[in-house]
Amino acid sequence: MKQLSLGANEYAVKPKKMRREKFPEEMEAVAPWSRLIAVVEPHYPKKENGTIPDESMQQHFRHLLEKHELTAGLFGEVNAMLTEQGLLLREGKRDPEMTPTKKGNQWYFGMKVHNLGG
């Protein structure tokens, strides 16, 4: 048996997380799913056959949201979560030096940099 180096041993115990592994954890920290599920669950039909989600299921879910007017509740819950964490900007102040500029069909928003040379 080959002995592992200190670095290899530490890596074996604590592997680096991939982006696809980090994303659900980061989303859960910003918007806990349990609070969103609590809004939808009372109206969602119970099925226990273990079907795999497909396009028709997504369409049925969208119609469920529309029928029971749940979108306002979901957006309200998301806004509450973002406000609690200080991530929702209610009003902003416009910087007078920031101006829109159009070059051709492309719009740019920013400020001019005055280089004083050197």
- Quick one: what percent of the chain has pLDDT higher than 70? 71
At a CB cut-off of 8 Å and minimum separation 6, what does 39 contact? 70, 73, 74, 77
Q: Give pTM, 2 decimals.
A: 0.50
The yes-or-no verdict on residue 1 having pLDDT over 60 is no
Per-residue pLDDT at 11: 59
Where exactly are the structural domains of the chain?
Answer: 6-91
Look at 40-44, 48-52, 66-70 and tell me which has the smallest mean pLDDT: 48-52
The yes-or-no verdict on residue 12 having pLDDT over 70 is no
Q: Which of 68, 70, 66, 89 lies closest to 79, judged by CA? A: 89
Q: Which residue has the higher pLDDT, 31 or 89?
A: 31
pLDDT band at 7 (very low <50, low <70, confident <90, very high): low
